Amino acid sequence: MHLMKVELQPERDESRSWWSTIIEQRDRIRVALADAPSLRQLIPGVVHDEYPSVRKRIALETNVARESIPVRLPPRVERNLAIALEGGDDFELNRTG
């Protein structure tokens, strides 16, 4: 959800609380995958299944209108998910410069 918030509100890309949550969740995923590596292949499907709920929550928690939130996961968010699943730290940020 926080990767989507960064995607949808680039002016808030520097939000420390969002990035803190993103890093914490990434680390939790890493621990879970270390304990059960076979889960790695399931995570993208779970993310896609949960995305409609994420859209609703983003609309509730931000000033972004629900109809402005993409129906499908944006490519940059997909890439950041892949980076996290591969154990990477270098997220592709939503910055213009």
Task: State the total domains in the chain.
Answer: 1
- pLDDT tens readout for residues 30-84: 888 889 989 888 988 999 999 999 999 999 988 888 899 999 998 888 888 888 7
Tokens 């699943």 identify what position? 85
Written as one string, the DSSP assignment of 21-73 is: HHHHHHHHHHHHHHH-GGGGGTHHHHHHHHHHHHHHHHHHHSS--GGGS-SS-
**What is the C-alpha to C-alpha distance for residues 81 and 47, in angstroms, rounded to an integer?**
9
- pLDDT for res 50: 94
**Taking 60 as the threshold, does the pLDDT of residue 88 lie above it?**
yes
Q: Does any domain span residue 90?
A: no
- pLDDT for res 96: 43
Q: Does any domain span residue 72?
A: yes
Q: Does any domain span residue 44?
A: yes
**What is the C-alpha to C-alpha distance for residues 90 and 45, in angstroms, rounded to an integer?**
23
Q: The whole model's pTM is what?
A: 0.74
- The letter for the amino acid at 14 is E
Q: Does any domain span residue 18?
A: yes
Q: Does any domain span residue 15?
A: yes
- Could you list the residue range(s) of the whole structural domain that residue 47 is in? 2-85
